[in-house]
Amino acid sequence: MSDRKPRLLPRSSAEQTALEGEVVAVEQGTVRVQAGDATFVVSACRTPATVGAHVALFIKEEHLQLDERSDNALPARVISLEYHGEATVIHLESPLGLLRVRASYTEISVLDVGEQIEVSFPTDKAILFTNIVGRKYNEAYSGQIEST
């Protein structure tokens, strides 16, 4: 794996979490991405991925789940709750940076600020782009450009 430090990319108007990582395996229609100490499995790739490729992984906040139902689990700490009628945006601190999760009131009724939880996402709900550099990720996510 490269010496690149994993980091969250800035958000676009689509309100998604964007992670950077490196492809560590490609097998049977899925790609395994290493970001820091976490490994994620993704099945939605916009371009072919090869082992060692630097990638950007996009996850919409409504696709992050407040549990560990998938292989893509990540520990996080609740730092704030933002109420928006029927939905609540939960701000989390994770080993990969800040995350936002959109959840219903019933899902968060037992959460407290400072609480340690697990968040996850299904393999088919993250979109992976290969070789996204700098500020091109917003345009790539919205389909305006191809990855380089």
Domain at 136, CATH number: 2.40.50.100
Q: Are 86 and 75 in contact (CB under 8 A)?
A: no
Tell me: the pLDDT tens digits for 10-56?
444 345 677 788 999 998 888 999 988 888 998 877 677 889 998 88
User: What is the pTM assigned to this prediction?
Assistant: 0.69
Domain holding 110, by residue range, is 8-141
- Establish if 2 belongs to a structural domain: no
Model pLDDT, residue 24? 95
134 — alpha (psi -120 to 50), left (phi > 0) or beta?
left
Please tell me the total count of domains within the chain. 1
Say if 96 falls within a structural domain.
Answer: yes
147 occurs within a structural domain: no
- Cα dihedral 74, 80, 83, 89, rounded to 10, equals -30
